[in-house]
Amino acid sequence: MKLLRKVNTVCPSCLRKLPGRLLADENSVYLYRECPVDGPSRMELSRNPRDYAELDRFYFTVLKKGKARGRITNYWVLSTHECQMRCSYCQIDASRPFFENMLETDFDAVLRRYTGAKLTLSGGEPGLSPGIFYFFKNASRLKRLTQLATNGLKIADRDFYLKLKESGAKEIRFSLESFTPIPEDSKIYEFNKFVNTKMAALKLLEKGDFSLSLSPTIFKGVNEDLLLETLDYAREHLSVKEISVNGFSWSGAGQSRGQEEMIMPDEMMDIICAGFKVSDRQSIFTFQKALFLLLQLLDIRICMYTQIMIFVRRKGKLEPITDYFEMDRMKQGLAAWEKFSNTPYPVRLLAFFGLAAYSLKPKTFLLSADILRMLFANLFKIDFSRYPAKLLPLVLNTNCSTLTADEEVSRQCMSAVICKQNGTLRETFTSRILSKLN
């Protein structure tokens, strides 16, 4: 057993602050803590101990050096606590809301104050907010980058869909649990009644000028096949610019479900690699390191609990972008770059270009224009509507949870939350909200 890091954490049951340890054995990496009241707790993070340990070292020791670095690129605007679905897994318990519904004057204040990042209208279900069209019309007028995070049920109403289109909304983050009817013996059968409505909404969105981010929720041992189904759907639907996966979070209302259903990004990446027959798992970790480095150079925050893969749409298939680089050389280049990690920014940037050039192979040049387009779409704000159709990013997240509470991870959060409490707009982070609600 190897100690990777000492961790400041909490007990997932009683929320008592505890010292913890990030440990690796020959089979896995896990977060371990012992509460004097509730006993020991163990949360598995990865089944690739050697490679995950190296990624953790690179992220915290080489890149972050104990500091929260980079700009916040997205603010979740919690517009309403109302929701039609009342999901058993939701972090926000709509029956016991901790924030108030926003008014048009609140939207004005948000649009006026937060000008340097994307504003994602969320909830609850933001489609139930009376001010939804007001928000997007004014955001469009002010040229603010926005996104709607929705369960899609309201969009199936054609009148609502047309008003949304006219309001100037462009980016839609569409949550789903299944593409097809769910069997009665499934642990997520509660969502079966929404499937047809969601698919009707998805078809409408494909006909409009919307850029879609599909956001499936994955439960370990329950609907893991949805990962590959979502990729297959996106393969032939070019309006899907991104897939942003949420692993089930044991927090909020989600505590009514079993802890064993929580799944971490690296476990989901295992499923992706198996589905695409990626035998060189180390190359995927090398790619994560290179992306973490690039995002830091672009002054963009990224959470250690997030993993990213980019797929290439080619000849009716999806191919991992790692097939287009010399991954052994990229690994060597990253090791060499570490020697420049404490040098001035221009030197670090130049060294990165060197390792990128060293990683190229002839096949890479097929993507050169598309990679540059994606790079510029992320340079100032994360504008996935500008992503080239050939490239499909897959972002694997697990929502914040006390099961994975690691103070050093949570303070690197790449998104912030704007909510209204006691009549006042407040900015915070999801992890801070959950530490008080659970």
| Mean pLDDT confidence for 243-256 | 87
Which residue has better confidence, 64 or 127? 127
Q: Which long-range contacts (CB under 8 A, 24 or more apart) does 202-207 make?
A: 202/152, 202/174, 202/176, 204/155, 204/156, 204/158, 204/161, 205/152, 205/155, 205/161, 205/172, 205/174, 205/239, 206/237, 206/239
Cα–Cα distance, 306 to 300 (Å, whole number): 13
| Mean pLDDT confidence for 118-140 | 96
Report pLDDT digits (tens) over 293-333.
999 999 998 899 999 999 999 999 999 999 999 999 999 99
Among 272, 402, 288, 244, which Cα is nearest to 52's? 288
Among 8, 29, 1, 44, which Cα is nearest to 285's? 29
Report pLDDT digits (tens) over 257-266.
999 999 999 9
Cα–Cα distance, 235 to 405 (Å, whole number): 35
Cα–Cα distance, 199 to 370 (Å, whole number): 30
pLDDT of amino acid 180: 95
Decide: helix, strand or coil at residue 36: coil
Q: Residue 207 burial (CB < 10 Å; 0-12/13-18/19+)? A: exposed
Report pLDDT digits (tens) over 82-91.
999 988 888 7
Local confidence band at 252 (pLDDT 50, 70, 90 cut-offs): confident
Cα–Cα distance, 107 to 63 (Å, whole number): 36
| Mean pLDDT confidence for 170-199 | 95
Cα–Cα distance, 318 to 311 (Å, whole number): 6
| Residues near 109 by beta carbon (within 8 Å), at least 6 away in sequence | 425
Local confidence band at 438 (pLDDT 50, 70, 90 cut-offs): very low
Report pLDDT digits (tens) over 349-391.
999 999 999 999 999 999 999 999 999 998 888 888 899 999 9
Local confidence band at 432 (pLDDT 50, 70, 90 cut-offs): low
CA angle 107, 112, 116 (to 5 degrees): 110
Cα–Cα distance, 394 to 9 (Å, whole number): 29
Secondary structure of 71-130 as H, E, C letters = ECCEEEEEEECCCCCCCCCCCCCCCCCCCECCCHHHHHHHHHHCCCCEEEEEECCHHHCC
| Mean pLDDT confidence for 80-108 | 86
What 8-state DSSP symbol labels residue 360? B
Decide: helix, strand or coil at residue 241: strand
Report pLDDT digits (tens) over 39-49.
999 999 999 99
Q: Does position 7 have pLDDT exceeding 60, yes or no?
A: yes
Q: Which of 68-82, 136-150, 152-166, 186-200 has the least mean pLDDT?
A: 68-82
| Residues near 189 by beta carbon (within 8 Å), at least 6 away in sequence | 182, 183
Cα–Cα distance, 153 to 399 (Å, whole number): 22
pLDDT of amino acid 158: 94
pLDDT of amino acid 249: 86
Q: Does position 253 have pLDDT exceeding 90, yes or no?
A: no
pLDDT of amino acid 92: 72
pLDDT of amino acid 95: 66
What predicted TM-score, i.e. pTM, was given to this entire model?
A: 0.94
Local confidence band at 433 (pLDDT 50, 70, 90 cut-offs): low
Decide: helix, strand or coil at residue 179: coil
Q: Check: CB of residue 404 under 8 Å from CB of residue 398.
A: yes
Q: Which residues pair with 42 in a beta bridge?
A: 32
Q: What is the mean pLDDT of the chain?
A: 92
Local confidence band at 250 (pLDDT 50, 70, 90 cut-offs): confident
Q: Check: CB of residue 261 under 8 Å from CB of residue 413.
A: no
Q: Which of 244-248, 314-318, 404-408 has the least mean pLDDT?
A: 404-408
Domains in the chain: ranges and CATH = 74-325+365-403 (3.20.20.70), 331-360 (no CATH)
Q: Does position 105 have pLDDT exceeding 70, yes or no?
A: yes
- DSSP output for 302-345: --TT-EEEEEEEETTEEEEGGGGB-HHHHHHHHHHHGGGTTS-H
pLDDT of amino acid 401: 85
Local confidence band at 436 (pLDDT 50, 70, 90 cut-offs): low
Cα–Cα distance, 427 to 96 (Å, whole number): 20
| Mean pLDDT confidence for 56-68 | 88
Among 304, 272, 358, which Cα is nearest to 5's? 304
Cα separation values, 168 from 17, 143, 198, 281, Å: 45, 10, 21, 42
Q: Does position 397 have pLDDT exceeding 70, yes or no?
A: yes
Which residue has better confidence, 246 or 98? 246
